[in-house]
Structure 1
Amino acid sequence: MSNKDIKLVLSGLTCANCANKIETRVNNLDGVKEANLNFTTSTLVIEGDGSKEEDELIVKAKEIINKLEPEVKVYNKDEVKEPIRNTSSCADGRCAIDDGSHDKDSHNHHSHGDSHEHSHEDGHDHSHGHDHSHNEPITLKENIPLILGVIIYAIAVVFRNESLLNGVLFVVSYLLIGGKVLTTAIKNIFRGEIFDENFLMTVATLGAFFVGEYPEAVAVMLFYEVGELFQSYAVNRSRKSITSLMDIRADYANVIRNGVEEKVNPETVNIDEEIIVRPGERVPLDGIVIDGTSFVDTSALTGESVPREISINEEILAGCINTNGVLKVKVSKNFKESTVSRILELVENASNKKAPTEKFITRFARVYTPIVVFLALALAIIPPLVIKDATFNEWIYRASIFLIVSCPCALVVSIPLGLFAGIGGASRRGILVKGGNYLEALKNVDSVVFDKTGTLTKGVFKVTEINNVNIEKGELLKVAAIAESNSNHPIAQSIIKEYGKDVTSSEIKDYEEISGHGIKTTIDGLEVLIGNYKLMEKFNIAYNKVDSIGTIVHVAISKEYKGNIVISDEIKETSKEAISGLREIGVRQSVMLTGDNKVVADKVSDIIGLDKVYSELLPGDKVEKLEEIINNNKSEGKVIFVGDGINDAPVLARADIGVAMGGIGSDAAIEAADVVLMKDDPKALVDAIKVARKTNKVLWQNITLALVVKVLVLGLGALGMANMWEAVIADVGVTVLAVINSTRCLK
């Protein structure tokens, strides 16, 4: 049975409420552990529980989608060869609102330009293009009914009288302008989607007709359609602004095959093939430069504005832009494993993890519209029965206003757009946030706990002292280098590099790594101990204490102390600035956890201004110490752990938010962390918290704006102090403003 994630693209879905409905119903399927529908990228991710076959889950999910939104095209994400750009409108050009909310970018106004067809194994063609796109300019042909309706409406208003012909003109103009609304409302009723905005608009305007307000009924429908056009444009412009941030993949690669250069799709290039990258071109694949030197712009990946010089034997990452020289690159990773693909997938999937605010709005929308609809019904029926001289005409009109203003689309559209914009804005600064939930959690941080090596320090170790005892310095260094030849730890590598000669682990026997202490092994028949002072004490070996700043590696041969090697690690230039920046934005405490000795740890802490430091910790001790910090946290703020993402996976996982440093080159970092700081700069954490706070501020601005305006208009409508025009403005206009406001999170 399959429990592999299934990814389906829903081409033609731009309705936030439609996404909520589909997501809810797919989550209720047997065999589904969790389903998330990313509204911004129109991707449905289904995680099975292993009890059902993958094909069966796909079929059932498609049945749900086809029932709710018949015109939405569904296909496997893996089958898509090109990214989907701003998809089209909902079924029948409208969005159903059974939960009381929807994205009103949901109508049939423009035809798409070109469509790309892909044939698949099922024998069907799945259109890669889309039926409608609001990126295209509004054309005369598509809006002929609307234009004719406006002309007839104008004639009816100018020559208004009590004749039958005048009434017919109003009816004809109403049908031409609102025909799509009426037909979609009827279709959705048959699908069981009663609380649909088309239905609400239909009932409201027909109510106006019923009470004799013919001009206003047609005018409201006209204004609604025009408002939909503006709203549609605003939504798609916003989505285009957001997705343009992700436009960092190269369209082609210049690959050399059989001595001839060919321009090909980057996905077709294999590992170890050679490609040419000319000035101005985007690097299509990760690789090693084998010829040429140049400066590359890495701002799309790391947020760094200063170009970086690159030369032979250096790694170059996909997504960078070559600025001047011609580079020949040997490909080291295929396209799917390249840096740019991993970044794109990470950011695209970020919206799958919904933030608490988004979940709250979804729950709110489910009860809001039905309540308002029943209030409108009560408003139309009860007052005329209990209030003297009250007429049904007057209260039906007021109830119609209730119906028009009832949809909370401003919230349901702008919240996911705002969160995704915030994630996109963070990525521009070289910060990858793996979910809206993490972005929202970042806004309220109490404590930041740092690893030392590779996080606050550069992690570039260098031998600064060799203190020998009854042995030559060169011999001491040789023994240490051989003993460390099995280790990839930076300290071990620095000793091997200082030795400068080839070493091989074949000279080692009985190799044993003692966690938190060091290494015990046999070299040329002699027992060698190499590690920290704890190792010396463990084997009862008298050692010399050293006051030098750095990591002290003690060496004993045949139970006899032979000296020590001092290795220093340089503090990052921005570490002190990062700590002071965190303090300025209200972070209560900054803590460092390290396995290094107390002297070194305290020195680093004093230099950069940490509040607390815990040293000489074993790997397991770090988790315990972090739990202690979390348990002692009496505020509602989160505890963040910042590490290098390689050796700190357990601590990253235990923290409220795990942040990996320099993770763009580390698969372990991307897997373990919730946030990745791509340019290896601790100061970027300050930027991440600021982006989170700005995004949260924008979201609550939208929520406050929508609720205040709608409640105000609802109240005025009930008191007879608002008309239908103001109701439409409260509905459509507020949504447009909220969507535009959401794009501020990009900056």
Structure 2
Amino acid sequence: MTKKQKKMLIRILVAAALMLILKFVPLPLSGVSMFLLWLIPYFIIGYDILRKAWKGILNRQVFDENFLMAVATLGALAIGLLKTGDYDEAVAVMLFYQIGELFQSYAVGKSRRNISELMDIRPDYANVEQDGQLVKVDPDEVEIGTVITVNPGEKIPLDGIVEDGESSLNTSALTGESVPRDVKPGDEVISGCINMSGLLRIRTTKVFGESTVSKVLDLVENASSRKSRSENFIARFARYYTPVVVFSAVALALLPPLVRLIIGQAPDWGDWIYRALTFLVISCPCALVISIPLSFFAGIGGAGKAGILVKGSNYLEALANTGTVVFDKTGTLTMGVFDVVDIHHSELDRETMLEYAALAESASSHPIAVSIRKAWGKPIDLSRVGKVEEIGGNGVVVEIDGRQVAAGNSRLMRHLGIEPIECHSAGTIVHMAIGNAYAGHIVISDVIKPDAADAIAALKRAGVRSTVMLTGDGPSAAAQVAEALGIDRVHSDLLPGDKVEKVEELLGAKKPGETLAFVGDGINDAPVLSRADLGIAMGAMGSDAAIEAADVVLMDDDPLKVSKAIRIARKCMGIVRENIIFALGIKLACLVLGALGIANMWLAVFADVGVMILAVLNAIRALFVRKL
């Protein structure tokens, strides 16, 4: 509990004690003397509300909950002084309102503390060696290429590459998973992880402002600035609702007595003014104004603890409406780790063809190129490689030992006027041509992720209507993966630009009100992530492109997190709808009862403070995320 909350709690306890004494202890006082005594607990508990209401009037922002509370309670005190002699309702209304505000403050604080656990990934210092001694410096001051030392138990302050040492890293603050990650020299590491065992020496590859931890913190801190339609609706609703109820209360206080006066009956001003004041207390929109943003705030915090970063409540709302999920295959549903499984050759022997393929792919960082060089397994003599021409989405044409060598897909072969021999093996086919003659092809296979099939099944259980897979693989390999995973539709032989066109085609065919989400690895899929209704980047630890392009960022590469994100969003939206229906329903019923004179100030307190407390309790349920 904060210092401010403790101060409010003391005010509540003192005011409640004084109220009970004045209510139940017989005192030889009455009239103005008793009124002045009741003003003591009233001002102890309500002085800040009166001050805020007065400031609102001076700033021409009259119609808010402080104004409603001030008018209602001051009016109740006036009725007590002039008519009834009872002041407990006025003090009680202000007292219970402040109890509700304290509870709401505590609930918001709990949500912020929950998100603060994620924010604990911010490193406090970096160990840099100076004159043979380790010196702690601000991570902002560390330049690229600096070697830093990370001791066991310390956070890794900056992204880099391990130069010396082996250890296990705790990545749970970023991924939500407790399984440690082992690292050794040559491995990339990212800021925000905790070094669990061995001492590591790391050469930094990014300044702190560009590091993973900095980007994640910036994302979380700015999430609340992107409002959902529900939040914007509540803000507009409160702006018009409050003036309407104030003028309705004025009409309720004046019109019935005037009508009774005109028809010759006693106007009974006190009764109708009391009803109007009760009406004002009931009408206070606190439950909606507080609980709806808190629901989204809690939902984003709960998702963050699970390693799912949502960039704003508008994206959380879109995620809840997901009807179609489109997956990129490589690195998303499959491991993205390719192996050469077969070589079909014609003129050249197997060894020579693999050597030529490794030389042709020597300059490429594509996973397929890496797998070919890995299969060759020998040093590559780059002096044998001459002119290199890369044809986007098709392959490469290279000069090796003075001969033209082409390595790529069937489109590349036809582009060169060479007819490839089709392969019926499942996998990615790299066709080879030497000179102008077809030489054969290499079959490369990617491994399906262990949880991929469960992830597709979980999406269907979550109510996702359609699952689609996009891939550059040939039809046979694509169909095999889709069938193994239970994916509804598959589109193969796609270039990067074709994927954008296919997503636009799927967007045109979706149902109204549905969201189409695209899930990719965030590195090569940035254009598609941006084009879909909702871009979800998977396995984004250390990927700047993913964090920049996507609306939702999954910090590890577990495809089950997609259905978990949708479940969190739907739970949050369910809570929002429950709070809207509950708050408006109770308030409407109590407003009618108040106008008819059936409801008193005590029921008004429940309609305002009680409903707010229940709505806030419901909202903080969004913080808690069940495991799959």
Q: TM (normalized to structure 1)?
A: 0.77
Moved more, 375-384 or 431-440: 431-440
Q: CA, structure 1 residues 460+525, in 2 after alignment: closer, same or farther (shift >3 Å)?
A: same
Q: CA, structure 1 residues 228+672, in 2 after alignment: closer, same or farther (shift >3 Å)?
A: closer
Residue from 550, 553, 558 that aligns with 2:427: 550
- The superposition leaves residues 609-658 of structure 1 with CA deviations (integer Å, 9 ceiling, x where unpaired) of 11111111222222222222222223532211112222222222221111
Q: Helix, strand or coil: the match of 1:544?
A: coil
What is the aligned partner in structure 1 of residue 67 from structure 2? Answer: 199
- The superposition leaves residues 36-77 of structure 1 with CA deviations (integer Å, 9 ceiling, x where unpaired) of xxxxxxxxxxxxxxxxxxxxxxxxxxxxxxxxxxxxxxxxxx
Q: Helix, strand or coil: the match of 1:211?
A: helix
How far does residue 369 in structure 1 lie from its aligned partner after superposition?
0.7
What is the aligned partner in structure 2 of residue 594 from structure 1? Answer: 471
Q: CA, structure 1 residues 383+160, in 2 after alignment: closer, same or farther (shift >3 Å)?
A: farther
* Paired residue type of 2:66: N
How far does residue 664 in structure 1 lie from its aligned partner after superposition?
1.9
Provide the C-alpha distance between the structure 2 equivalents of 1:173 and 1:343, rounded to a whole number of angstroms. Answer: 47
Provide the C-alpha distance between the structure 1 equivalents of 2:576 and 2:287, rounded to a whole number of angstroms. Answer: 11
Structure 2 residue 406 is matched with structure 1 residue 534: no
Q: CA, structure 1 residues 245+736, in 2 after alignment: closer, same or farther (shift >3 Å)?
A: farther
Decide whether the 8 Å contact of 2:287 with 2:612 is kept in 1.
yes
Decide whether the 8 Å contact of 1:256 with 1:273 is kept in 2.
no
Residue from 722, 731, 737 that aligns with 2:599: 722
Q: CA, structure 1 residues 540+232, in 2 after alignment: closer, same or farther (shift >3 Å)?
A: closer
Q: Helix, strand or coil: the match of 2:225?
A: coil
What is the aligned partner in structure 2 of residue 7 from structure 1? Answer: none
Provide the C-alpha distance between the structure 2 equivalents of 1:429 and 1:234, rounded to a whole number of angstroms. Answer: 20
What is the aligned partner in structure 2 of residue 96 from structure 1? Answer: none
Q: CA, structure 1 residues 247+473, in 2 after alignment: closer, same or farther (shift >3 Å)?
A: same
Q: CA, structure 1 residues 487+746, in 2 after alignment: closer, same or farther (shift >3 Å)?
A: same
What is the aligned partner in structure 2 of residue 258 from structure 1? Answer: 131
What is the aligned partner in structure 1 of residue 248 from structure 2? Answer: 375
Moved more, 685-694 or 176-185: 176-185
How far does residue 176 in structure 1 lie from its aligned partner after superposition?
4.2
Decide whether the 8 Å contact of 2:19 with 2:88 is kept in 1.
no
- The superposition leaves residues 508-527 of structure 1 with CA deviations (integer Å, 9 ceiling, x where unpaired) of 45533333432233333322
Structure 2 residue 162 is matched with structure 1 residue 289: yes
Provide the C-alpha distance between the structure 2 equivalents of 1:287 and 1:189, rounded to a whole number of angstroms. Answer: 56
What is the aligned partner in structure 1 of residue 83 from structure 2? Answer: none
How far does residue 381 in structure 1 lie from its aligned partner after superposition?
0.5
What is the aligned partner in structure 2 of residue 360 from structure 1? Answer: 233
How far does residue 173 in structure 1 lie from its aligned partner after superposition?
4.4
Residue from 162, 165, 168 that aligns with 2:33: 165
Provide the C-alpha distance between the structure 2 equivalents of 1:279 and 1:542, rounded to a whole number of angstroms. Answer: 59
Provide the C-alpha distance between the structure 2 equivalents of 1:293 and 1:344, rounded to a whole number of angstroms. Answer: 27
Q: CA, structure 1 residues 178+633, in 2 after alignment: closer, same or farther (shift >3 Å)?
A: closer
Superposed, 1:678-697 pairs within 5 Å as 678-697=555-574
What is the aligned partner in structure 2 of residue 221 from structure 1? Answer: 94
Decide whether the 8 Å contact of 1:156 with 1:169 is kept in 2.
no
Decide whether the 8 Å contact of 2:19 with 2:91 is kept in 1.
no
Structure 2 residue 28 is matched with structure 1 residue 151: no
How far does residue 391 in structure 1 lie from its aligned partner after superposition?
0.9
Q: Helix, strand or coil: the match of 1:442?
A: helix
* Paired residue type of 1:316: V
Decide whether the 8 Å contact of 1:486 with 1:505 is kept in 2.
no
Superposed, 1:300-699 pairs within 5 Å as 300-387=173-260, 388-503=265-380, 507-699=384-576
Decide whether the 8 Å contact of 1:520 with 1:529 is kept in 2.
yes
* Paired residue type of 1:284: P
Q: Helix, strand or coil: the match of 2:338?
A: strand
Q: CA, structure 1 residues 321+514, in 2 after alignment: closer, same or farther (shift >3 Å)?
A: closer
Moved more, 274-283 or 524-533: 274-283
Q: CA, structure 1 residues 346+231, in 2 after alignment: closer, same or farther (shift >3 Å)?
A: closer
* Paired residue type of 1:190: L
Unpaired runs of 5+ in structure 2?
Answer: 81-85
What is the aligned partner in structure 2 of residue 267 from structure 1? Answer: 140
Superposed, 1:121-136 pairs within 5 Å as 133-134=4-5
Q: CA, structure 1 residues 583+370, in 2 after alignment: closer, same or farther (shift >3 Å)?
A: same
Superposed, 1:48-67 pairs within 5 Å as none
Decide whether the 8 Å contact of 2:519 with 2:535 is kept in 1.
yes
Provide the C-alpha distance between the structure 2 equivalents of 1:227 and 1:652, rounded to a whole number of angstroms. Answer: 43
Provide the C-alpha distance between the structure 1 equivalents of 2:532 and 2:272, rounded to a whole number of angstroms. Answer: 57
Provide the C-alpha distance between the structure 1 equivalents of 2:15 and 2:569, rounded to a whole number of angstroms. Answer: 48
* Paired residue type of 1:147: V
Identity %: 54
Q: Helix, strand or coil: the match of 1:701?
A: helix
Moved more, 284-293 or 508-517: 508-517
Provide the C-alpha distance between the structure 2 equivalents of 1:356 and 1:152, rounded to a whole number of angstroms. Answer: 43
What is the aligned partner in structure 2 of residue 55 from structure 1? Answer: none
* Paired residue type of 1:154: I
How far does residue 531 in structure 1 lie from its aligned partner after superposition?
1.3
Moved more, 378-387 or 729-738: 729-738
Q: Helix, strand or coil: the match of 1:394?
A: helix
Provide the C-alpha distance between the structure 1 equivalents of 2:597 and 2:28, rounded to a whole number of angstroms. Answer: 25
Decide which structure has greater helix share: 2
How far does residue 223 in structure 1 lie from its aligned partner after superposition?
3.4
- The superposition leaves residues 565-591 of structure 1 with CA deviations (integer Å, 9 ceiling, x where unpaired) of 221111111111111111122212211
Provide the C-alpha distance between the structure 2 equivalents of 1:722 and 1:192, rounded to a whole number of angstroms. Answer: 31
* Paired residue type of 1:601: A
Q: Helix, strand or coil: the match of 2:337?
A: strand
How far does residue 691 in structure 1 lie from its aligned partner after superposition?
0.6
* Paired residue type of 1:557: I
Q: CA, structure 1 residues 644+714, in 2 after alignment: closer, same or farther (shift >3 Å)?
A: same
Residue from 608, 617, 621 that aligns with 1:740: 617
Provide the C-alpha distance between the structure 1 equivalents of 2:28 and 2:230, rounded to a whole number of angstroms. Answer: 50
Q: Helix, strand or coil: the match of 1:248?
A: coil
Provide the C-alpha distance between the structure 1 equivalents of 2:241 and 2:495, rounded to a whole number of angstroms. Answer: 53
Decide whether the 8 Å contact of 2:308 with 2:554 is kept in 1.
yes
Q: Helix, strand or coil: the match of 2:116?
A: helix
Decide whether the 8 Å contact of 2:212 with 2:544 is kept in 1.
no
Decide whether the 8 Å contact of 2:65 with 2:286 is kept in 1.
no
Q: How many residues align?
A: 614
Q: CA, structure 1 residues 689+276, in 2 after alignment: closer, same or farther (shift >3 Å)?
A: same
Moved more, 232-241 or 694-703: 232-241
Provide the C-alpha distance between the structure 1 equivalents of 2:306 and 2:102, rounded to a whole number of angstroms. Answer: 33
What is the aligned partner in structure 2 of residue 178 from structure 1? Answer: 46
Decide whether the 8 Å contact of 2:68 with 2:284 is kept in 1.
no
Provide the C-alpha distance between the structure 2 equivalents of 1:581 and 1:219, rounded to a whole number of angstroms. Answer: 50
Provide the C-alpha distance between the structure 1 equivalents of 2:16 and 2:317, rounded to a whole number of angstroms. Answer: 46
Decide whether the 8 Å contact of 1:511 with 1:519 is kept in 2.
yes
What is the aligned partner in structure 2 of residue 236 from structure 1? Answer: 109
